Amino acid sequence: MQNSDKIIEKLEKKLSTFSAQGSSTNVGTVEKNTDGVIVASGLSKAMMGEQVVFEKGAKGVILNLDEDSVSIILLDRADDIETGETVKTTGQLLSVEASDELLGRVINPLGNPLDEKPRIKKGRLMPLEKIAPGVVKREPVNTPVKTGIKAIDTMIPIGRGQRELLIGDRGTGKTAVAVDTIINQKQERLQKSHKPMYCIYVAIGQKQSTVAQVVDRLKQSGAMDYTIVVAATASDPATLLYLAPYAGVSIAEYFMEKGNDVLVIYDDLTKHAWAYRQISLVLRRPAGREAYPGDIFYLHSRLLERAVKMNKENGGGSITALPIIETQANDLSAYIPTNVISITDGQIFFQTDLFNAGIRPAIDAGNSVSRVGGAAQTAAIKSVAGKMRLELAQYNNLAAFAQFGSELDEATSKQLERGKRTIEILKQPQYDPLPESLEFASVWALTNGFLDDVALDNVSRFEEQLHSFMKRKYQKVLDKIAKGEKPTEELNKELNKAVTEFKKSFS
Amino acid sequence: MDRKLIKKLASASYTKNLLDEVKVNKIAKELNRKELKLYVLALKNIERANTVYAYFPYFPGKDDIKNLKRLYPDKKLVAKTDKSLIAGVRIVNNDIIYENNIKNNLNKIISLISE
């Protein structure tokens, strides 16, 4: 129990901020309540995006300013709002309380906990809507985000501050790649090769069970220590779904402003667009293509523009965005996918056919691209990735012709066999991200022909055993690779020796 | 008839800041049900914008009214009594409420402590 002095001291501290000066409030009257959209008269001093409070305590946010009235969308389910009820402005734009205590927590977009732990009160208020930092404050992407997934780190590298879209049909492994990337940051934290990354997973319109699974997986992998989950599930009002990604990026900005690197995953922006369409339609805004409002592009561009790599004078922090878009029947040319493709700095395309053929992660290398990530790739990976990508492209070309069954010359057959092994080596089980040194070892062995005489079925076993062999006997070589520098001739010789030695023992 | 025109009609229904019954009846005859509804709403809005309500914890004296008239020379003043204010005044000017009374201060203290 607290002693009386402390209680009085606390009260005095609170009262010291009290001002007895008169105050003015801007009030309005509820005119209409249709589909969760409240039309209120009065409120002549209201601002766009300002938070308002109703007589019975329900909260809302202003989304339309008309000549005589304002349209308010409710932030919680409140069916008891009646016409004639008063509503008053708060003078505050919608914001979320952010602090270091949020790490490991599951919250909703308003900052209310969903994990049955107490509410965080001490945080800093971060506005949900904010103009992205300008050109002068930024610097080009130059540090990698290591996903631990061979196919991505080698062929479609992601840099800190980049916006890389994960796009594909449902059930093709988009969320799995995103979760793997979060899990891999644990290894990165231990290696201390770069600044540690904080992760924010924003679940938009997903089933509560799916969010629970992700949280459970992150907990099991020990990734929740540096992760925050912002969840607006399918049962939440469309307003919360609309606000969720903005809440996520606002929290990310809190960490970024302290000079940290943050990774934000928006899972997924298709449902976000649906929620915004629903809100816009009930607000009677003019509908455009596929009934989306005219500012649907701006909705996502203003969100993703907040992904940034700040220069040293401005703290040097960064926000990397991994938005997810769900396509229908692998159609990349639909409205929302094309919008987000054009906003982001590249996309990773997940194919259903590849997934069903057992190629997982089901990344379609031909349609995937990283426009700025190359600058962030380490010299070590760059030295082997280019060759592998070229060989894979050649294989894809040749494989189409090889289907006709005509006789092939030796060089073509070799290329085909190499291609098959490349695809095999890029396969990776879920929730098993690899450190860069082991990724390098696998690709190095492949591009230097050590796998050419290994049967296709044995490739994964070869890789697995090679990794444990290297860790057991050649840890020093792995440590050298982990530095990320371009492999010297000496290092190549050591690798050659190691893989040759391993191959002798491999059966 | 659109909303803007009805608003114009509503403001034209006043003579020297007072609602003119003759004008109102003349206009009302020409409007259909829906338009009449909008017209009444517009009149209500003008009335609300032209009136200032002042609440005192006691029966307001001549000085109080004089002071208020000086503050709002172009508006209609309605003075009311609300004992719950304890001391001070509450002024309602259209959609803005000015609170300068003990009741409001006590409420502010309560919310500050319960935060």
Q: Check CB contact under 8 Å for A44 and B96.
A: yes
Side chain identity at residue B68, one-letter code: L
Report residue A171's pLDDT band, with 50, 70 and 90 as the boundaries: very high
Q: Which of A285, A302, A371, A389 is catalytic?
A: A371
Q: Which residues pair with A265 in a beta bridge?
A: A201, A322
Distance from CA of A45 to the nearest CA of B (A): 9
pLDDT of residue A296: 96
Fold of A97-377: Rossmann fold (3.40.50)
Q: From CA A229, how far away is CA A463, in angstroms rounded?
A: 34
Nearest to B97 among A14, A17, A27 (CB): A27
Secondary structure letter of residue A291 according to DSSP: G
Residue type, A238: A
Q: What is the CATH number of domain A380-505?
A: 1.20.150.20
B62-91 pLDDT per residue, tens: 898 899 899 998 888 999 999 999 999 999
Query: Quick one: average pLDDT of A188-208?
Result: 90
Token pair 């929730």 in the structure block, residue: A431
Mean pLDDT of A36-49: 90
Q: Is the pLDDT of residue A467 over 80?
A: yes
Nearest to A43 among B95, B109, B113 (CB): B95
- B95, B108, B112 member nearest A27 (Cβ): B95
pLDDT category at A473 given cuts 50, 70, 90 is: very high
Question: Would you kindly state where each structural domain of chain A is located, as residue ranges?
Answer: 24-93, 97-377, 380-505
Best residue of B39, B95, B115 to probe chain A, by most A CBs closer than 10 Å: B95
| pLDDT tens per residue, range A348-383 | 999 999 999 999 999 999 899 999 999 999 999 999
Any chain A CB within 8 A of the CB of B108?
yes
The residue in chain A having the minimum alpha-carbon distance to the alpha carbon of residue B115 is: A14
Q: Do B97 and A25 touch (CB under 8 A)?
A: yes
Q: For the beta carbon of residue A482, count every other beta carbon within 10 angstroms.
A: 17
- Using a CB–CB cutoff of 8 Å, tell me whether B94 touches chain A: yes
Average the pLDDT over A292-300 and give the result: 96
Judged against a pLDDT cut of 60, whether residue A274 lies above it is answered with yes
Q: Tell me, what's the pLDDT at A1? A: 54
Chain A residue with the nearest C-alpha to that of B98: A24
Query: For residue range A130-143, what is the model confidence (pLDDT) as tens digits?
Result: 999 999 999 999 99
Q: In 3-state terms, what secondary structure has residue A261?
A: strand
Sequence-distant (6+) residues with CB within 8 A of A68 are: A41, B45
Whether A97-377 and A24-93 are alike in CATH topology: the answer is no
pLDDT band at A405; cut points 50, 70, 90: low
Strands (E), A209-310: 227-232, 261-267, 308-309
Residues A475-486: pLDDT tens digits?
999 999 988 889
How high does pLDDT run on average in chain A? Answer: 92
Distance in angstroms (rounded) separating the CA atoms of residues A456 and A425: 10
DSSP designation for A310? B
H helix or E strand, kind and range, residue A39: strand A37-42
Out of A23, A26, A44, closest to residue B104 by CB: A23
What is the rounded distance in angstroms from the CA atom of residue B68 to the CA atom of residue B66? Answer: 5
Do residues A223 and A189 lie in contact, with contact meaning Cβ atoms separated by under 8 Å?
Answer: no
Say how far apart CA A260 and CA A247 lie, in whole Å: 18
pLDDT at site B23? 94
Does residue A371 carry a catalytic annotation?
A: yes
Chain A residue numbers touching B98 (CB-CB < 8 A):
22-24
pLDDT class for A298, splitting at 50, 70, 90?
very high
Domain range A24-93, its CATH number among 2.40.30.20, 1.10.3720.10, 2.40.10.10, 2.40.110.10:
2.40.30.20
% of chain A at pLDDT higher than 70: 99
For the CA atoms of A146, A374, A372, A349, what is the dihedral angle to 10 degrees?
A: -70
- Contact of A86 with chain B, judged by CB distance below 8 Å, is answered with no
Q: Do A14 and B115 touch (CB under 8 A)?
A: yes
pTM attached to this predicted model: 0.89
Which of the residues in chain B have pLDDT under 50?
A: none
The pLDDT of residue A54 is above 80: yes
- Find which of A19, A43, A68, A86 to mutate to test the B interface (most B CBs within 10 Å of its CB): A68
Tokens of A283: 């607000």
Largest CA distance in chain A: 94
CA gap A364, B43 in Å, rounded: 65
User: Residue type for B112, please?
Assistant: L
**Residue keyed to tokens 């929290």:** A251
User: Measured on CA atoms in the order A295, A300, A303, A309, is the torsion positive or negative?
Assistant: negative
pLDDT value of residue A408? 78
Chain A CB contacts of B105 under 8 Å are 20
Q: Which residues of A touch B109 (CB under 8 A)?
A: 15, 18
Chain pair A-B, CB pairs under 8 angstroms: 45
Q: What is the mean pLDDT of residues A251-271?
A: 96
Distance CA A82, CA A33 (A): 7
Q: Does A3 touch chain B (CB under 8 A)?
A: no
CB A42 within 8 A of CB A26: yes
For residue A67, what is the nearest residue in chain B, using CA coordinates? B4
| A301 vs B: CB within 8 A | no
Contact B112 A15 (CB under 8 A): yes
Name the pLDDT band for A119 (thresholds 50, 70, 90): confident
Does position A2 have pLDDT exceeding 70, yes or no? no
Please give the Cα distance from B68 to B85 (Å, whole number). Answer: 18
- Answer for the pair B52, B91: CB distance below 8 angstroms, yes or no: yes
DSSP-assigned letters across all residues of A453-476: TS-GGGHHHHHHHHHHHHHHH-HH
